[in-house]
Structure 1
Amino acid sequence: MRSINDDHGRAWEALALPIKVAHLRDGARLAFRHEGEQVTSAIDFNSIEAANFAIETMSEKELRRRLEWAKTAAGVA
């Protein structure tokens, strides 16, 4: 999990949301949470470990960009 601020200065947490991926294997989806509200991105990973590694190493600019796309897709301002 990692904290970032959106374009409006609101704090969000980037996290790996467990999901089933190809062949019903355990994987993860990049998701963001803010005060009980959660939005998911279109980014899937083959494991929780891969998702956590990506979240830890992704640039803040890239995380904010993914957050804005996820918010737009979910209809969140």
Structure 2
Amino acid sequence: PYTRALLSAIPIPDPTVSRERILLQGDLPNPKNPPAGCRFHTRCPFAADECRASEPALTEVAPGCQVACHRAVRGEI
């Protein structure tokens, strides 16, 4: 979700083209004192109990493509 939101914020130089802007809801994690588990679970619409309990490992899901998300690794999102 974070990557999708970031990509939706990139300006398009053609004013006739529009794109849906993704705005994340929820609490911003404190970078000085991040939450337990995945530090993005407070704003992730796909967060599950395991996201709050354990930090996901950085895993290669395709050549040159890595994710740190429990659910993305299993292909759930």
TM-score range, shorter chain: under 0.3
Normalising by structure 1, what TM-score?
0.22
Higher strand share: 1
Q: Tell which structure's C-alpha radius of gyration is larger.
A: 2
- Report the structure, 1 or 2, having the larger helix content: 1
Of the two structures, which has the highest relative contact order with CA contacts closer than 8 Å and spacing of 6 or more?
1
TM-score under structure 2 length normalisation? 0.22
